[in-house]
Amino acid sequence: MQDQKHLKIHVHMVEKKIGKPYGGPWYSRFDERMQFEQGVDTQFPGMIARNFRKGKKVWREYQLAIEVPTYNICQVTIKLYPSEKKSPKVTVNGASDSPHRYENDSLCMWYPWDPKDNRWCFEDGLLLLLVLIQAHLFREAWWRESNEWLGPEKSHEQNITNFEQ
């Protein structure tokens, strides 16, 4: 009688994990990114969105032209860092003299420690952030002409330079 060889078959079960995938920031998840960016392409066409990595630092960057009504068109860059969703860094080409800019010329559009009702929150989405940037740029242009700031403001006498990126 011939020896019969038996094959052993091993079956491995793979569990599907639900929730945040390992190691990726919010913008690596298509559904979250699409929800955040919803409506932007129709209101602000031509926006460029890219992901960047410099050493261990990663961020999502948006570049676009925003029309400032009755004034001009500004080239805007927005950087969102995964660990600092509440504080996008917004820079703009052109004139930077403004009472509401950080030392690195990024826009200071709200007081970082204000209640959520008084500042932009990540959950509000990119479209609302772009509208707030547009309003801020209008206020800056108005201020340059009239030395009057339209809208609410906080004193910059408090040291909030640690908030800058």
| pLDDT for residue 20 | 47
Q: Is the confidence at residue 93, as pLDDT, over 50?
A: yes
| pLDDT for residue 38 | 95
Highest-pLDDT range among 11-20, 31-40, 106-115: 31-40
Q: 143, exposed or middle or buried, with CB in 10 Å at 0-12, 13-18, 19+?
A: middle
- Start-to-end CA distance of the chain, whole Å, equals 79
Other beta carbons less than 10 A from residue 66's beta carbon = 18
Q: Is the confidence at residue 2, as pLDDT, over 70?
A: no
Q: Is the confidence at residue 89, as pLDDT, over 70?
A: yes
| pLDDT for residue 15 | 46
* Two structure tokens written together for 155: 């004193």
Report the DSSP pairing between strands 89-92 and 57-68: unpaired
Q: Is the confidence at residue 115, as pLDDT, over 80?
A: yes
Report the DSSP pairing between strands 72-80 and 57-68: antiparallel
In DSSP terms, which residues pair with 91 in a beta bridge?
77
Give the Cα-Cα-Cα angle 115, 82, 140 (nearest 5 degrees). Answer: 55
Which stretches of the chain are assigned E, i.e. beta strand?
48-54, 57-68, 72-80, 89-92
Give the Cα-Cα-Cα angle 64, 150, 94 (nearest 5 degrees). Answer: 35
| pLDDT for residue 3 | 52
Per-domain residue ranges of the chain: 26-147
- The model's confidence at residue 157, banded by pLDDT at 50, 70 and 90, is low
- The model's confidence at residue 26, banded by pLDDT at 50, 70 and 90, is confident
pLDDT digits (tens, 9 = 90+) for 6-20: 444 444 444 444 554
Q: Is the confidence at residue 82, as pLDDT, over 90?
A: no
Averaged pLDDT, 12-29: 59
Least-confidence region, from 3-7, 8-12, 123-127:
8-12
pLDDT averaged over every residue in the chain: 83
| pLDDT for residue 22 | 47
